[in-house]
Amino acid sequence: MNRIGIEQKKATQLVEGLNELLANYQIFYSNVRGFHWNIKGEKFFELHVKFEELYTDLQLKIDEIAERILTLGGEPEHRFSIYLQQAQIKETTSVSSAIDTVNFVLRSLETLLVKQRAILTVSGDAEDEGTNSMMSDYIREQEKLMWMYNAFTAK
């Protein structure tokens, strides 16, 4: 058992999953900052604000994930070069149209939801209520965002 009462093998598995999730969040965050800065067109004012809200939330979650990794006895990855290798979410380049940016946000949220549900399964098995609660909260919030961003793209 580790210091918070979770079997060490399961804690290690959670740390690995959370570090991979952290990598995806970091790339997503960087992309959304770029969307905020570079959005163009008739939806500029609306999306400029929404992307700022999104990247502010992502920044908070990045810190929470890193702190959860530390709580579990692990070490959060901090090298962007490793994030680029580990993340399924990839860097974007020259994306500035409303529909393209929102579709990228939707694909990124899908990736995060899949990863968070996988971590939720492991945290449930490990009886790790801290990670379990965090993933449940993230999933609930992001499912609502999926609905809202999908509504934006509806024709």
Q: Which residues contact 2 (CB under 8 A, 6 or more apart)?
A: 8, 11, 72, 73
| CATH dotted code for 8-153 | 1.20.1260.10
Residue-range domain boundaries for the chain: 8-153
Helix/strand/coil for 74: coil
Is the pLDDT reported for residue 128 higher than 80? Answer: yes
Q: Kindly state the average pLDDT of the residues 44-52.
A: 97
Q: Kindly state the average pLDDT of the residues 64-76.
A: 98
Confidence of residue 155 (pLDDT cuts 50, 70, 90): low
Task: Give the whole-angstrom CA distance, residue 64 versus residue 68.
Answer: 6
Q: Residue 60: how many CA atoms within 13 Å on its side-chain side?
A: 8
Q: Please report where in the chains the tokens 């960087």 appear, as a residue.
A: 30
Q: Please report where in the chains the tokens 């598995």 appear, as a residue.
A: 13
